[in-house]
Structures are given as structure tokens and as C-alpha cells.
């Protein structure tokens, strides 16, 4: 039987000890390249001892209880924003099913087990509504404000904070509000520095401080599980989103994605 430390290591994507910094490739990351929970490294070569890893996992578990632990969803195709939004909707559905809806992303999610954890309460699909509104072609969401507008179509309200800071993340999470942010993802599912060519959506669920370093607990559509990142690493990734080469994306994403935090809440929430 695995002990508590082993279980926590499997629950959270934490950097593995390593002697030299990893060098991420420039190849596009895809949801099919799901990271191994026990083999995650940071692009900047951050190392943690086994004791540090266990302590971080313990702190992350506490942070989720105090923050906004969202149910996971695993994406299919270039749909990270839609599945991240679905996780936030599921979070509010668990809290109060009467406040808003919890839709599937596509019809295929009805049989794809890891695509959702709750029974949908509407026949409408996030992808269909996003495409109908002209927000997407294949499921990609390169305009943060449009992601919020899509949420509003399902009975939520949205707030977009420009040039957000770690303090803004903390303020939302401390109210029990998960937030959606875009960053560059590396091959392991962690923040990377690729100039926006690997832009990806994540949900920030919790935060904690350990030994003077700020950490964030996040999840995204590659695995639907939790990741633990240094806040500085995420912010560095967020603030260098400049351009995308995705066919349907705007070439310049500095005004559409970079530094924009999307907060989605039920209309009745303060």
C-alpha cells in the first residue's frame, strides 16, 4: 500500500530532482503528450530534494482546501481554454447546482470518461456555442475576453483583469474563485518561455508560501490533475506571450492573451 507521501507525489505534478537544467524543445506540445506525474521538470532547472517534494505536496493539499479545487477535465484537440472553462463551471456546479450550467465541451465527451466528472445539466456544448459566436474554429481560444463572454452565455458573469499580478491571483483565490490564465506550456506541462508559440490555458486554484517562495497550485487540460509552480515561473511565462503561429490565432497575442486574468463566477456571487 502506498504511503501518504507517495500518494501526494502522484496527486501533484512536482519538479523532480535533477543535476542540470532541462532544455525544452521548440516542438509544439499536444494533449497526447501527457506528462508523467513522477517525471516532471521545470525548464529553468529548479531542483527539489525528496523531503522538499513531500513538503510541497502537503502545502499544496492545504492550499486547495483553502482555495478553489476544481474538478478535472482532460482535453481533446486544441481545446485547452474550453476545457479549463469547463473545470471552473464544474467547480461552481458542485458548490450550488442552481447558480449556472455545467456543459460538456463536445458531444464526444459523453463517452470519453476523463473529459468530465459531473453529469451535464444542459444540451448545449461549449465548442458549438463558441464556434457559433465566431470565437473559435477548432476549439482554440486566443481571446481572453471571449472566453469570459462564452461563460456569460451559460449564466455566469466574467471579469477580466489586465496586467494581473500575483496579488490579483491571491485576491481571487482567497475569495474561493478559481481563475483562468494563459501561459506557454513546456513538454512537461509546466510554464515555459516560447514567446507565445505554445500558449495554453490553465486554472489557478490555490497558493502558498514556503521558505519565502510563493507557489501556485494549478490544473489544465493535459491531465486534469494538479501542478505546483513557483509563482515567478508562471508570471515570467505569462508576460512573454507575444505571438502565435497557430493558423486560426491572431499573430499578435499581446492584447488578446498576455497578462489577462479571467474570473468566472455565478451571477449571484459577490
CA dihedral 141, 116, 204, 24 (to 10 degrees): -70
User: Does any domain span residue 177?
Assistant: yes
pTM listed for this prediction: 0.84
pLDDT 10s digits, 124-158: 999 999 999 999 999 999 999 999 999 999 999 99
- Its domain, for residue 202, covers 4-19+41-266
Total count of domains within the chain: 1
User: CA distances (Å), 189 to each of 154, 223, 228, 234, in order?
Assistant: 29, 9, 11, 12
User: CA distances (Å), 100 to each of 7, 127, 149, in order?
Assistant: 34, 17, 14
* Higher per-residue pLDDT: 21 or 247: 247
Dig out the grid coordinates for 156 from the structure. Answer: 455566469
pLDDT 10s digits, 36-62: 333 333 434 455 666 677 888 899 999
Residue 109 pLDDT exceeds 50: yes
pLDDT 10s digits, 208-236: 999 999 999 999 999 999 999 999 999 99
User: Does any domain span residue 74?
Assistant: yes
For helices 80-95 and 144-152, the axis angle rounded to 10 degrees is 40
User: Does any domain span residue 33?
Assistant: no
Q: If pLDDT is split at 50, 70 and 90, which confidence band does 244 have?
A: very high
- Residues comprising the chain, all counted: 270
Determine the pLDDT at residue 54: 80
User: Does any domain span residue 32?
Assistant: no
Q: What is the CATH number of the domain that holds 14?
A: 3.90.70.10
Q: CB neighbours (10 Å) of residue 46?
A: 17
Amino acid at each position: 500500500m502506498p504511503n501518504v507521501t507517495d500518494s501526494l507525489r502522484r496527486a501533484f505534478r512536482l519538479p523532480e530532482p535533477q543535476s542540470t537544467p532541462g532544455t525544452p524543445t521548440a516542438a509544439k506540445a499536444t494533449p497526447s503528450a501527457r506528462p508523467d506525474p513522477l517525471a516532471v521538470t521545470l525548464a529553468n532547472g529548479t531542483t527539489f530534494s525528496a523531503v522538499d517534494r513531500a513538503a510541497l505536496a502537503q502545502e499544496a493539499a492545504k492550499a486547495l482546501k483553502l482555495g478553489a479545487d476544481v474538478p478535472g477535465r482532460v482535453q481533446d484537440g486544441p481545446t485547452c481554454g474550453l476545457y479549463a472553462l469547463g473545470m471552473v463551471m464544474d467547480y461552481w456546479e458542485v458548490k450550488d447546482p442552481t447558480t449556472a450550467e455545467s456543459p460538456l465541451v463536445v458531444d464526444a465527451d459523453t463517452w470519453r470518461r476523463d473529459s468530465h466528472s459531473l453529469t451535464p445539466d444542459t444540451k448545449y456544448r461549449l465548442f458549438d456555442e463558441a464556434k457559433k459566436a465566431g470565437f473559435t474554429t477548432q476549439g482554440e481560444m486566443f481571446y481572453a475576453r471571449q472566453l469570459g463572454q462564452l461563460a456569460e452565455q451559460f449564466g455566469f458573469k466574467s471579469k477580466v483583469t489586465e496586467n494581473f499580478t500575483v496579488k490579483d491571483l491571491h485576491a481571487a483565490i482567497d475569495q474561493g474563485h478559481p481563475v483562468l490564465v494563459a501561459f506557454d506550456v513546456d513538454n512537461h506541462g509546466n510554464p515555459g518561455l516560447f514567446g507565445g508559440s505554445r500558449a495554453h490555458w490553465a486554472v489557478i486554484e490555490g497558493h502558498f508560501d514556503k521558505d519565502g517562495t510563493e507557489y501556485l497550485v494549478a490544473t489544465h487540460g493535459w491531465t486534469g490533475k494538479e501542478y505546483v509552480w513557483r509563482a515567478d515561473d508562471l508570471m515570467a511565462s505569462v508576460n512573454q506571450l507575444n505571438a502565435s503561429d497557430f493558423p486560426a490565432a491572431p499573430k499578435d497575442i499581446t492584447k488578446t492573451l498576455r497578462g489577462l486574468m479571467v474570473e468566472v463566477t455565478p451571477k449571484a456571487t459577490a
